[in-house]
Amino acid sequence: MTSFTYQAPTKVLFGEGAVSQVGDLLKEQGAKKVLIHYGSRSAKESGLLDKVCKACEAAGVAFVTLGGVVPNPRLSLVYEGIELCRKEGVDFLLAVGGGSVIDSAKAIGYGLANDFDVWELYDKKREASACMPIGCVLTIAAAGSEMSDSSVITKDEGGIKRGYNSALCRCKFAVMDPELTYTLPPYQTSSGAVDIMMHTMERYFVTEDTLELTDGMAEALLRTVMKNALILKDDPRNYKARAEIMWAGSLSHNGLMNCGGPKGDWASHQLEHELGGMFDVAHGAGLAAVWGSWARYVYEEKPERFAQFANRVFGIPETGNPKKAALLGIEAMEDFYRSIHMPTNLEELGLSVTDEQIRELAKKCAYGGRTIGSFRALDQMDMEKIYRMALKGKA
Amino acid sequence: MTSFTYQAPTKVLFGEGAVSQVGDLLKEQGAKKVLIHYGSRSAKESGLLDKVCKACEAAGVAFVTLGGVVPNPRLSLVYEGIELCRKEGVDFLLAVGGGSVIDSAKAIGYGLANDFDVWELYDKKREASACMPIGCVLTIAAAGSEMSDSSVITKDEGGIKRGYNSALCRCKFAVMDPELTYTLPPYQTSSGAVDIMMHTMERYFVTEDTLELTDGMAEALLRTVMKNALILKDDPRNYKARAEIMWAGSLSHNGLMNCGGPKGDWASHQLEHELGGMFDVAHGAGLAAVWGSWARYVYEEKPERFAQFANRVFGIPETGNPKKAALLGIEAMEDFYRSIHMPTNLEELGLSVTDEQIRELAKKCAYGGRTIGSFRALDQMDMEKIYRMALKGKA
């Protein structure tokens, strides 16, 4: 019977010019010394970093800065951040960027609040007992890290990408101004849209009973993201479309789309994590490249679920033949991915993966002998097959 | 341009048997001495109150109890609660019941944490600076008070019913077991469904731009509540249907359905508050009895919005004639109300209201010369007209 725990306590300030409230939010949190954590060029060049620093000064909050976070954020910079914060007596972490920057801040927060090597969390050897408080100014709609309980870090040696989830790391506040995403390159905008959709779809594709209410909200979210991702292709400075996608990004991954259902499948995410670790691809693009192959590999476990998706998200009639509707729905999803210039296989993702690399990807993904996914539990052999299917996607 | 603040921090434990976790939740909150606040018979007779008391004992949390909360909860009991809590050194309030009990606990919480007469909040003379922490075990799906920032109290003399909203009173946790609602009388189940729908509809009917994402989620919520309210008519112990409606009740009023839009209209609620104060009717039934008259009075301000509602909630085709579609949608809503034995006018609500009483209702509703509503701002004369239209509803 339906049961769940839900708590998404992050205070969201959403809208044009919301950045001006960063100082008040930090004071509300009692922050005395803040680490302003950011990526590379864009936060600086856009003037955003300056605005944030000035807001801190105006609020009388001291700060230090640490930039250099890259997509698939690195453990080495996390260690650097922990050391800097210890030295400087930082008591609050402010991430200015997208999911990578927020995830890096979360890892720094765990490292500061626990007296062991923070990688042990991501390596599933330990559990966190606390996390330094974190806030964020979001500049990319994608990962949903601004409201989520998750963070994903890549260990530099070996490119090992691992996630760790705990309510301790949820942001205290998230400042979300859709205008900050106007200048994202189209590829990154599309990749973000895929990531957002996949956070909902990984929760949607389960074999167990779900709540109709959650299904209905998830389907509305998917339709909304698709419609607005297409608008942004031609009109990247469309405030409304940016707002729809930005808010969808938060709701997709804050736990709301889980309610009434089990934890979700997550196999596509885990297959992609290995690609991200080995080849450093954009996360959303990597997800788009493997999803269709995953879907065709597993849909027969419960074709009715895929048929519902096909019907409610794409308007594909329920024909009484759920397998047929399921396959049409998978194709429709891939058609959409292509329409926003996202790949639907590894070749389109720009990768030429050798057979040895496929075995290596599957071996890393199946670490500790684990299976992934719940719609259909997948072992190392299954993973190999899906990676292989994904080389060229649907024949 | 779309902007909003959203924060709904309540920790929800949802599912069969969730009550067993009350002790742990209280300890997590650091509660030392709890007021267990409840209504009349049912919490006692069902054994729920016993379970809660035992959970407190098992967790080593001391408690006192105060029952007697009635629908349209009274200020006099709030005063009694404040006095009892001061005497007993209570540091946490646990509401065991529906919206009335939670609202009463919220008022007690305000009274304890502020050094002035708590009615001054509801009378809009003061603002609260704090509130004693509150948790709840929900037994009625309706008011959404378990996650909302609102509470409504009725002053005994004169039957003056007023609401006060502030983030300070949001429950720290909400224990939600759909089974606890199995034994609600059918009239109360239906009245709850209306209240839930109206919390979303009051936010939905605005003339300003909204987010499609919020619209889509709101429409899904309305469809879900209607479908499951009909199931409960014949099968009141249907866990799944109870779960759908219970979770809808929380999401409808926790702020989520506001996101991307302005604050909403709320005129129907305010018109009903006066009915509740004067005649002590069930809140949801009172809302159903005035909504159609309100809708017909205001829809021409923006018929397109009502036409969208008609289309997406009831499948009424968009004919290119939004006024016609709007009226068909209003009728469809009233048909649904009747199908779950809810009134669509004051006569069906069982009231025989005199002309003098109508003037009195409007006068009280327009206190301080205020207007209500935003879809169309309504003054005292408008209120009188709507109450008069509602006497017999659609001719």
**Across B217-229, average pLDDT:** 98
Judge whether A141 and A245 are in contact, CB under 8 Å.
Answer: yes
Residues of A in contact with B216 (CB under 8 A): 217, 219-221, 223-224
- Looking at residue B263, its pLDDT comes to 85
**Across B294-312, average pLDDT:** 98
Contact yes or no for B211 and A9 at CB 8 A: no
- Cβ–Cβ contacts within 10 Å for residue B41, how many? 9
Q: Which residues of B touch A (CB under 8 A)?
A: 1-16, 18, 178, 209, 211-213, 215-217, 219-221, 223-224, 227-228, 239-240, 243-244, 247-248, 251, 256, 259-260
- Looking at residue B161, its pLDDT comes to 86
Contact yes or no for B6 and A18 at CB 8 A: no
Q: In chain A, what is the greatest distance between 2 CA atoms, to the nearest angstrom?
A: 65
CATH superfamily of B186-390: Dehydroquinate synthase-like - alpha domain (1.20.1090.10)
Q: How far apart are CA A353 and CA A343, in angstroms?
A: 15
Contact yes or no for A11 and B2 at CB 8 A: no
Neighbouring residues of B193: CB distance < 8 A, sequence distance ≥ 6:
B141, B142, B225, B226, B228, B229, B245, B284, B340
- Looking at residue B395, its pLDDT comes to 59
Q: How far apart are CA A189 and CA B125, in angstroms?
A: 48
Element (H, E) at B379: none
Judge whether A44 and B36 are in contact, CB under 8 Å.
Answer: no
Q: What CATH number labels B11-180?
A: 3.40.50.1970
- Looking at residue A330, its pLDDT comes to 98
Three-state secondary structure string covering A216-280: HHHHHHHHHHHHHHHHHHHCCCCHHHHHHHHHHHHHHHCCHHHCCCCCCCCHHHHHHHHHHHHHC
Q: Which of A213, A214, A230, A254 to mutate to test the interface with B (most CBs of B within 10 A)?
A: A213
Residues of B in contact with A239 (CB under 8 A): 1-2
Contact yes or no for A244 and B212 at CB 8 A: yes
- Looking at residue B280, its pLDDT comes to 83
**pLDDT confidence tier of residue A288, bands split at 50, 70 and 90:** very high
Say which DSSP state B21 is in: G
- Looking at residue A150, its pLDDT comes to 95
Say which DSSP state A159 is in: G
Q: How far apart are CA B65 and CA B84, in angstroms?
A: 9
Judge whether B217 and A217 are in contact, CB under 8 Å.
Answer: yes
**Of residues A135 and B158, which shows the higher confidence score?**
A135
**Each residue's pLDDT tens digit, A56-105:** 999 999 999 999 999 889 999 999 999 999 999 999 999 999 999 999 99
- Is the pLDDT assigned to residue B261 strictly greater than 80? no
Burial of A32 (0-12, 13-18, 19+ CB in 10 A): middle
Contact yes or no for B5 and A16 at CB 8 A: no
Nearest CA to B10 out of A250, A5, A2, A165 is that of: A5
CA–CA distance from A13 to each of A32, A160, A175, A251, B259 (Å)? 21, 34, 5, 14, 11
Distance, CA of B281 to chain centre = 14
Nearest CA to A75 out of A116, A135, A34, A122 is that of: A122
Residue with tokens 């779809």: A201
What residue ranges do the domains of chain A occupy? Answer: 11-180, 186-390
Torsion of CA B194, B197, B199, B205, to 10 degrees: -120
Measured between CB atoms, which of B10, B18, B217 is closest to A217?
A: B217
Q: What is the ipTM of this complex?
A: 0.96
CA distance A253 to chain B (A): 15
Measured between CB atoms, which of A5, A8, A16 is closest to B3?
A: A16
Q: Which residues of A touch B (CB under 8 A)?
A: 1-16, 18, 178, 209, 211-217, 219-221, 223-224, 227-228, 239-240, 243-244, 247-248, 251, 256, 259-260
**pLDDT confidence tier of residue B394, bands split at 50, 70 and 90:** confident
Q: What chain B residue is nearest to A175 in terms of C-alpha separation?
A: B5
- Looking at residue A45, its pLDDT comes to 84
A196-214: buried (b, 16+ CB within 10 Å) or exposed (e) per residue?
A: bbbbbbbbbbbeeebbbbb
Judge whether A187 and A233 are in contact, CB under 8 Å.
Answer: no
Measured between CB atoms, which of A2, A7, A214 is closest to B12?
A: A7
CB-side neighbour CA atoms (13 Å) of A221: 27
Residues of A in contact with B208 (CB under 8 A): none
Residues of A in contact with B14 (CB under 8 A): 2-6, 259
**Across A256-276, average pLDDT:** 91
CA–CA distance from B321 to each of A375, B202, B328, B332, B341 (Å)? 45, 23, 11, 17, 31
**Each residue's pLDDT tens digit, A314-338:** 999 987 899 999 999 999 999 999 9
Three-state secondary structure string covering B222-269: HHHHHHHHHHHHHCCCCHHHHHHHHHHHHHHHCCHHHCCCCCCCCHHH
Q: What chain B residue is nearest to A12 in terms of C-alpha separation?
A: B6
Q: How far apart are CA B194 and CA B188, in angstroms?
A: 10
Our separate counts of H helices and E strands in chain A read: 15, 8
Residues of B in contact with A244 (CB under 8 A): 211-213
Contact yes or no for B224 and A240 at CB 8 A: no
Residues of B in contact with A254 (CB under 8 A): none
Q: How far apart are CA B241 and CA B16, in angstroms?
A: 13
Neighbouring residues of B300: CB distance < 8 A, sequence distance ≥ 6:
B323
Contact yes or no for A240 and B209 at CB 8 A: yes
Judge whether A187 and A285 are in contact, CB under 8 Å.
Answer: yes
Average pLDDT of chain A, as a whole number: 96
- Sign of the dihedral through C-alpha A247, A252, A253, A258: positive
N-terminal to C-terminal alpha carbon distance within chain B? 40
